[in-house]
Chain A
Amino acid sequence: MIGVTSMQEMTQEVIRLTLSDKTASIEEILGDSIDVQRRDFMFCGNPDYPGCCYSIDGLADAAVIDAALKALVVSGTELVDEPALLATAEEILSCLMFNAAVRACSTLAAGIERILSGDTLVLIEGVEQTLLISSKGWKDRSVEEPASENNTRGPRDGFTESIRTNTALVRRRIKDPMLRMEGMVIGTRSKTDVNIAYIQDLVKVGLVDEVKQRLSRIKIDAILESGYIEEMIEDAPFSPFNTLQSTERPDKVASALLEGRVAIFTDNTPVVLIAPTYFWQFIQAPDDYYNRYWVGTFFRMVRYIAFLISLTLPSIYVMLVSFHHEMIPTSLALTIASGREVVPFPVLLEAVLMELAFELMREAGLRMPKPIGQAVSIVGSLIIGQAAVQAGLVSPFMVIVIAITGISSFAIPSYSSSLALRIFRFPLLIASGTLGLLGFSGMFFILLLHALSIRSFGEPYLAPVSPFQQEAQRDMIVRMPMWMLDARPDFAQDTKRMGEHQKPQVPKEQKP
C-alpha cells in the first residue's frame, strides 16, 4: 500500500500503479458509500489479469454493465487466447467491446468524475489506461407539457431534467449541420453540465465568445438550477428586469436560435436560458405565430393592454381618488365616493393592503398541496372580496381595481417577467399616492429611463422601439402575416430568411 498522499496527486496519474493500488485509491476517494458498486472479474477468464469495474447503483444501467462484462469475460474467453496481446485500452475497446459508447481514460480524476455521472469505470491489470463505458440509465421524468407555459395550438412537449433529452428536442427541430452545441462544466462540487447551443452562420458575431467568457467567470460550488447561472451572468444585476429569457418550451428555443441567439442548457433543470433578449419578448407568446395573424395580433394587443393595466391601474386609481378628483367623470366620482363613505383607511393604504392580500392569496395558492389548492384560493378570494366589502373594510371599487390588475398580470405569458412588473407596481403606487401626478409621471419617467439604460448582451433592452428599427416593427405590436415576416433581427449574420413572393396566390385556373 502506498502512503496516503493528497488526492490531487493520486488522481493525476494512473500509470505505473498496479490494480490494487488503483482500486485502493479509488476506494479511498469514494469512501464507503453503499451505492458504490464494485465488480471484480477475470479479463478473458484469465486469473493473471484480474479486473474491476466501478459504478454507482441507480445511476448506471445494469444492462450496459452486463453487456460490457459479457464482452470482457465471455467473449474475451472465446476470442482471445492471449490477453497480453491486448495491451492498451484502445485495442481492447476497438477489438473486443461492443458497447456503443466506450472510451479510454488516463486520469483517475476524470474517471471518478465520470463514475459519479453514471458511467462505469473498468480497470484491468496490466492495462495502463482505464475504460469508461457510458451507462447512464436513471429514472427520468417523461416529456410532458410545461406547466407554466400553456398554449392552445402548437407542440406540447417540454424540456425535462436531462440535458441530453433537452438538446435532442431542439436538434429534432433544427436539422441544420450548422447547429453547434458546446459543453462546459460549471460548479466545483456539482460539476453541472452546461451546453451552449447556437447556429454558427446565424448567431450574432461575438456573442458566443461573450457567453463563454461570462460562464467561465463563474466560480461557485454548485449550480442547482439555471437561475443560478442567470444571476451570475446577467447584465443588470440590480434591476428587476429580466435580461435573460428563460423557457421550458423547445419551440421557443428553436425559434430563438433561428434568430441568431444563443441558448444555454443546464443539467437537472428543464429551464433553458436564451440570450440576448428584448423586453417585448416577454409579452409575446408562441401562440401568436401558430394561429393566424388576425388572432395573433388581437391577442397580442390584449396582452399589451393587460401589461399597461397591470402596471398603472392601481396607481392611477389612487392618484385620481386622492389628489385629482376633478378628472373623474362625475357619475363615476359619485359612485366611488359613495363606496368609500364608510371605509376607515385612506386610499393608498387600502390599495397597498389589497395588493398584499392578493399577493398572499397567489402565493398561498402556489404553495398549497394540490387537492386543497384550488378550493382554498377560490374561496379565499371570494371571502376577501365579498366579506371585506360588506364589513366596510374596503370599497367595492378597490376590489375591482385590484382584481383587474391581478388578472392582467396573469395574462402576460412570461411568468418571471410579470414578477418584475409586480415589483414596479409598488414604487409607482406609493409615488402616486404621496405626490399625485408629479409622483406618477416622475416615477414612470425614472422607470423608463432605467429600462432604456439596460442592455442585454449588447442589445438595447427596449429595441426595436428605442432605438427604432423599421423592419422589426412587423412583429412588435401586430403580427404581420407569415409571408411578410421575411427578415431576422439585424444582429444576426444573415438577415434574409424568406424567398420572394411568398404571399399565397390562388392559381389562375381556380379563380372564379
Chain B
Amino acid sequence: MRKIQITNGMFVAMVVNLIFAKAIGVTQGVLARSIGQDMWVATLLGTLQGAAMMYIAYLAIRRTPHLNYIELGDLLLGKWFGKLIALLIFVFYLAAFGPVMITFVYHLKDYFLPEAPYWLFTSSALIIGSIGCFYGLEVMARIALIGSLFIFLLNTLIIIGSMKEFDIRNLLPLLEHGFPLTAAASLHFDADWALAIMLAALILPFVNGAAAYGRKLSVVSILASGMVIVIWAILEGAVLSAEVTSQYTISCMKLARNAHIGNFLQRYEMIMIALYSFSILFEVMFCIYGTSVSISKIFGLKSHKVMIAPVCIVLGLFGTWVVRDHFRAITYLENDWPRIALPIAFSLPLLMLGLRMLMRKKLNQAVQSQHGES
C-alpha cells in the first residue's frame, strides 16, 4: 500500500483552493458592509493574522511531523482526548459546510439556474465530492493543483474584463473608518483562514516536506492565498464601489457580471464560473473528507471511506437547511459561523502547542519509543 505523498506545491494549492471560493465573494460583501472601501486593507490584515496562526499550527506538530492533531492528542493525553479533538474537528467542518453551500448554491442558483430546487445543488455537490473522497487524498491534492491553475486563469480574465471601468478614486480615502475598525472587520476574514488551519491540522503529516520546509510552507501558503484574494478586493472596490459591493450576497458575481471584453464578449461570467467551480467543489470534497476522517476516528474505524455515505447525508440535510432561507443563511454567515470557527481554529493550535510544550518529556519518550519500534 503506497503511502500518500503530497508535494509542497500541492499543499499550497490545497490551501489556496480551500479559501479562495468563499473569500472573494461572500466575505468581501461582508467586509464591504462593515468598512466600505477598505476591504482590501482588511484582507491584507487578515492574511497576516492567518499566516501567524498557520505558523502556530505548524509549530504544534513540529516535533512529530508524521502525526495529525488527533493522533497527537492521542499521544499526549490519551485516547479520549484524541476523540475530543476529533469531535471538535467534526463540529468545525460540519459548521463550515454551511458557508460552503451558501457560496455554491447562491452562485449557481441565483445567477444561472433560478428554477432548480435546492436539493439538486446540494445532492450533486455531495455526490461529486464523495467520488473525489473515495478516490483518496492524492487525487484530491492533484485536482487542487489543476484548480489553482484555473484560479490563475480566472484572475487574469477578471482583470482583463474590468480594467476599463477601474476607477482608483473609489478606493480612496484610505482607512476612512480608522485602523481599529478595519482590524476588527478583518476578523471576518479569519473565519476563512480557519478552514486552512484545520486543513493543516489534518493534512500536514502527509506532506512530503512538512518536516524540512514546514515553516516556510505554512506561511507561504497563506500569503499566496492572500495575494490572490486581494486582487478581487481591490477590483471590487475600484470597479463597483463599496456601496454596490455591500448590497449583494455574492459580490464577486456582481463584479464578474460587469466584466466584458470589447463589444463582442458582453458577458462571460459563465467561463469564470466554470473555472471557479473547481475551487468550490474542492471545498465540498474537503468538508466531506474532514468530517468523515474525524468521525471515523471517534468511532475507532480504520478507514474513513466507510463513513463517507452517512456523513454526506448529515451534511446534505444541514446544508439544505441553511440555504433554504436567505435570511437565515446571511445570519448564519455573519454571526454564527465566525463564533464557531474562530474559537476552534484559534484555540486548537494554541492548545496543542501548549500541551506539547508542557508535556515535552512524555512526548520525547513516546517519540523515541516509536522510533525504536520502527
Contacts and interface: CB of A to CB of B under 8 A. Distances in A.
Q: Is chain B in direct contact with chain A in the complex (CB below 8 A)?
A: yes
Interface of A: 320, 323-324, 326-327, 329-330, 435-442, 444-446, 448-450, 452-453, 460, 462, 465-468
A438 B143 contact: no
A441 B132 contact: no
B10 A324 contact: no
Contacts of B145: 465-468
Given A330-B266, A449-B132, A438 B139 contact: no
Given A436-B112, A444-B274, A453-B135, 14 more contacts: A323-B113, A329-B264, A435-B113, A435-B120, A437-B277, A438-B121, A442-B125, A442-B128, A445-B281, A449-B131, A450-B135, A465-B145, A467-B10, A468-B7
A324 B264 CA distance: 17
Of all A-B residue pairs in the complex, the 10 with the closest CB atoms, nearest first, are A441-B277, A466-B142, A453-B135, A327-B270, A452-B142, A453-B139, A466-B145, A452-B139, A437-B112, A449-B132
A452 B135 contact: yes
Contacts of A326: 267
A337 to B, nearest CB: 16
Given A323-B112, A467-B145, A435 B266 contact: no
Nearest to B7: A467
B1 interface: no
A450 B268 CA distance: 28
Contacts of A435: 113, 116, 120, 124
Contacts of B10: 467
28 contacts: A323-B112, A324-B270, A327-B267, A327-B268, A327-B270, A329-B264, A330-B266, A437-B108, A437-B113, A437-B277, A438-B113, A438-B116, A441-B273, A442-B125, A445-B132, A445-B143, A446-B131, A449-B128, A449-B131, A449-B132, A449-B135, A450-B135, A453-B135, A465-B146, A467-B7, A467-B10, A467-B142, A468-B145
A194 B274 CA distance: 47
Interface string B187-223: 0000000000000000000000000000000000000
Contacts of B7: 467-468
B91 to A, nearest CB: 28
B282 to A, nearest CB: 9
A436 B136 contact: no
Centre residue among A437, A438, A460 by max chain B CB count within 10 A: A438
Given A329-B264, A453-B135, A467-B145, A436 B128 contact: no
A329 B260 CA distance: 11
Contacts of B267: 326-327
Nearest to A455: B2
Interface string B1-31: 0000001011000000000000000000000
Nearest to A312: B274
Interface in B226-270: 264-270
Contacts of B274: 437, 440-441, 444
Contacts of B266: 329-330
Nearest to B144: A466
Nearest to A438: B108
B278 interface: yes
A445 B104 CA distance: 15
Given A323-B113, A437-B113, A448 B143 contact: yes
B301 to A, nearest CB: 22
A460 B265 contact: no
Given A435-B124, A437-B273, A466 B146 contact: yes
Contacts of B131: 446, 449
A326 B269 CA distance: 10
Contact of A438 (B124, B132, B136): B124
